[in-house]
């Protein structure tokens, strides 16, 4: 007497198909959604001080290098120390409640706990000074910071995104004097010569260019 129906013979195959489908679905979920464009772009952390880039870099026209003073010499742009803030705010809005954490940092000699916005993995190396010297504008990676009340991530910072620029840097190259100018736009004279300038850069596309 047959205990199990003949239809159960196909059960292992059906289970394998379902398991494979679920596995593929999970893989696609991670492949599509758990990637830098979805995990990083839009990240806008709360900072210990309500610092407005729209005001400082936009309305007041402060150059990026006033605060990020090492960007031309170091692989890091550098978060400004409290001394930089107090260079102005010892006089300007010196009693503002919003600046209380800055004054406390100045008095206690303890750094403000700024939250890093653009975070690269430890296995990736990025040199700010090399890109600035090449003429890559700040806005190419960081967006129009002069229009941001709070700075957030506008580019995925993924390997493919970096390689696209290294393979075709021409759209991102500008005169070195205009690297920090958020409002700069290429004119006909620059467009006519930037292809030759970009070709001479020869940015690395091999692994050791960014993984050291």
What pTM, to 2 d.p., does this model score?
A: 0.79
Whole-Å CA distances, 5 to 2, 10, 15: 7, 11, 17
The per-residue pLDDT for 106 is 96
Q: What pLDDT is attached to residue 21?
A: 78
C-alpha angle 172/174/179, rounded to 5°? 95
Give the residue among 70, 97, 92 at the shortest CA–CA distance from 81: 70
Mean pLDDT (10-residue bins), the chain, 212 residues: 66 76 68 61 92 96 95 93 96 95 96 92 92 96 96 92 95 96 95 94 93 88
Residues 6+ apart with CB under 8 A from 115: 45, 46, 47, 48
Tell me the domain boundaries of the chain. 39-46+117-209
Residue 130's CB is within 10 A of a number of other CB atoms, namely 12
Give the model's pLDDT for residue 19: 78
Decide: helix, strand or coil at residue 73: coil
> What is the structure's pLDDT at 148?
97
pLDDT at residue number 134: 96
pLDDT tens, position by position, 34-59: 565 566 888 999 999 999 999 999 99
Tokens representing 87 are 């260079």
pLDDT of residue 2: 60
């Amino acid at each position: 007497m047959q205990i199990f129906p003949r239809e159960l013979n196909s059960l292992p195959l059906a289970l394998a198909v379902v398991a494979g489908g679920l596995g593929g679905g999970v893989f696609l979920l991670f492949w599509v959604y758990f990637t830098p464009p979805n995990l990083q772009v839009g990240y806008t952390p709360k900072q210990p001080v309500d610092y407005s880039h729209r005001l400082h870099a936009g309305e007041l026209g402060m150059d990026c290098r006033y605060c990020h003073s090492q960007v031309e010499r170091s692989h890091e742009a550098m978060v400004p120390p409290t001394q930089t803030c107090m260079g102005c705010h010892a006089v300007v809005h010196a009693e503002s409640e919003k600046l209380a954490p800055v004054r406390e940092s100045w008095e206690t000699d303890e750094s403000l706990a700024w939250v890093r916005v653009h975070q690269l993995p430890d296995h990736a190396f990025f040199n700010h000074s090399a890109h600035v010297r090449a003429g890559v504008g700040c806005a190419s990676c960081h967006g129009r910071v002069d229009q941001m009340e709070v700075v957030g991530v506008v580019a995925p910072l993924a390997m493919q995104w970096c390689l696209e620029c290294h393979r075709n840097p021409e759209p991102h190259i500008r005169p070195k004097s205009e690297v920090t100018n958020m409002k700069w736009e290429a004119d006909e004279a620059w467009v006519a010569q930037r292809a030759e300038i970009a070709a001479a850069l020869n940015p690395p596309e091999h692994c050791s260019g960014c993984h050291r």
